[in-house]
Structures are given as structure tokens and as C-alpha cells.
Amino acid sequence: MKVEFTAAQIAALLGGKVEGDPEAKVWNVARIEDGAPGMLSFLSNPKYIPFIYDTLSSIVLVNEDFEPTQQVKTTMIKVKNAYESFAQLLAIYQEYTNNKVGISENSFISSDAEYGEGCYIGDFAFVGERVKIGNNVKIYPLSYVGDDVVVGDNTVVYPGVKLYAMTHVGKNCIIHSGAVLGADGFGFVPQPDGTFKKIPQIGNVFIGDDVEIGANTTIDRSTMESTKIHNGVKLDNLIQIAHNVEIGENTAMAAQSGVAGSAHVGKNCIIAGQVGISGHLTVADHTTIGPQSGLTKGVSEPGKSIMGAPAYDYSKYMKDIVRQRNIEKLEERIAELEKKLSELLSK
């Protein structure tokens, strides 16, 4: 279904000002350089200013301080921040188009489970005993919601998600396909005969509000108490969070990173892709960790940037990289000096 919006409607939503045709209509989005009739684009990076004079997009969001130096054919909407406004529009559009409501006859819901108003529970979704689901929650087909799970208002659980028993998910969360929350932590005791004895994992996973969890990411239940993902955390696809880990508020972690058991990551940290954090470490608030880094000891000072394996100060790491790249030249210089020294000594 094609949903159209006029420039006047978009400006009203964003508190912007239309310059051009207020009745110009859009039904999809495109990059400004790839614009076409019916498309909405945005301009925030000065590098892309030349495209606004030739774009075929019907409407372009621009910053309110943008002043064209030649004629602009498209309709502009001036807003405080074009990039943020564009993201806001996408969120509104997604909410509008994904506003599914209703309980599928092909789903299974335990008799003592509770769910609020405006919910959607899709085909072949399973909802276990004593589950509590809030208002406007969307549980897509083939998802599993185990016994005693709590899912807060306005949370979206995409197809194929597994929420093991006792998992707690807060409000306004997004959990993408294939994510598994609450599987057993990796706890085993080596035995004298070389075998391993499993340690029962009797805790749970606690997810705060406004958390997004990427596809095929796994968060293990704790041995005791809770593995905790606090409010505002953003986890990319293919991330492993081990048992008893705690991730502080508004921390973002990119794909293929892993956090070993009982590690504590602070608030507002940025963790790039393929980072490994050893168990029982503490990472201070506002830490930035570069890609493919490995932490073997904690970070005690807030605001540090680190990189490498093992990770250390980012600026020192970059200097060391430069030195490594100059090793061949240094070898040549040393060889030349040794040759000259040998000639001098022979004389």
C-alpha cells in the first residue's frame, strides 16, 4: 500500500517551513544524489550541496540556515537539523506501516498469560505460562515467549526470537529475528577424569527500556541473579553477552563483539566490531574501544579511547602503527649505516 504525504503535512510534523510547493507529495525516500519523483531526501552534509540543484526528489529536508546559491527546482522543507528530522520521519513511517494489531488463531497463548491493549501476536507464536505482555506489544510469527517472561509496553519482538523463561524485557525495546535471550550461561567445572560438570544457571536476563538487540545476538542467563542490559543500550547483530554481564546505560556495541562472564561495561561506551572483553573486568563509563581489540585488563579511567590486542591507549596505538610501517625503511637505513661504518673501520 502506497502512503503519500504532502510537504505541508511533513512540515507540520517536523515544525519546519516549506519553501516551494506545499502540495508536493512523496511516498518513499532516496539519497539526494539518487532522487526521483515521489521521493523524499535530506541534505545535511555540505559535501552533497551540489546535488540539491539537480535532484529529482520531490521534497528535500535542509537545515534552516541553508541558503542556495542558485535556483532549486525541488520543494525544500527547512528544519533545525535535517538529519535528525529525516530519522524522525522514518520512525513515524515505520510505526505507521508496522502497526499490526490482533491475535492470530494460529498462535498459542497459555490460559494464565496476560496481554494488554493493541497487541499483535502472529502465527505460530508461543506464549507460555504466567507471561505478562504490556500494551501495544508486537510479537511476530514463530517467536517463543517462555514461562514467567515480562514484555513491556510498545516492545517489538520480530520473527523467530526466543525469550527463555523468566526473561524481563522493558518498554519500547526492539528485538530482531534470531535473537536468543536467556539461554544457559557457559558454566562448567572441570573434573579429575577430564570431563566437565555443568553448573546450573538459575538466574535470568533483565533488559531495560529503549534497548535494541540485533539479529542473532545472544544474551545468556546468569548463574544467579541477572544478566543486565540497562536502559538505552544498542546491540548490533551477532553479539555474545555471557552470564552475569552488566552493560551500562546508552552503551552501543557493534557486530561480532563478545563480553565474557561477569564483566561490567559502564555507561555511554562505544564498542566497535569484533571486540573481545575478558571475564570479570570492569570498563569505565564513556570508554571507546576500537575494532578487533581485545581487553585482558579493565579500564578504570572514564573517557579513555583504547585499541589493539591487548588494548591500550588509542593515540599510542596509532603511533606504534606508524612505527611498524616504517620498520622496513629503518632496516634499510641501519644496513646502510652498518655498511658505511664497516668502510670507515677498514680504512
- Residue 280 designated active-site: no
Cα–Cα distance, 294 to 307 (Å, whole number) = 8
Expressed in percent and rounded to 5, the helix, strand and coil fractions of the chain are: 20, 30, 50
Cα–Cα distance, 274 to 281 (Å, whole number) = 17
Per DSSP, 299 falls in state B
What count of residues does the chain have? 347
DSSP H/E element including 14: helix 7-14
Query: Among residues 88, 85, 106, which one has the least CA distance to residue 96?
Result: 88
Helix residue spans in 179-326 (DSSP H) = 314-325
DSSP H/E element including 330: helix 327-346
Cα–Cα distance, 113 to 115 (Å, whole number) = 7
The three three-digit cell numbers of residue 186, written as one number:
557457559
Catalytic residue among 168, 176, 243, 286: 243
The three three-digit cell numbers of residue 155, written as one number:
516492545
Cα–Cα distance, 10 to 89 (Å, whole number) = 8
Residues with active-site annotation: 243
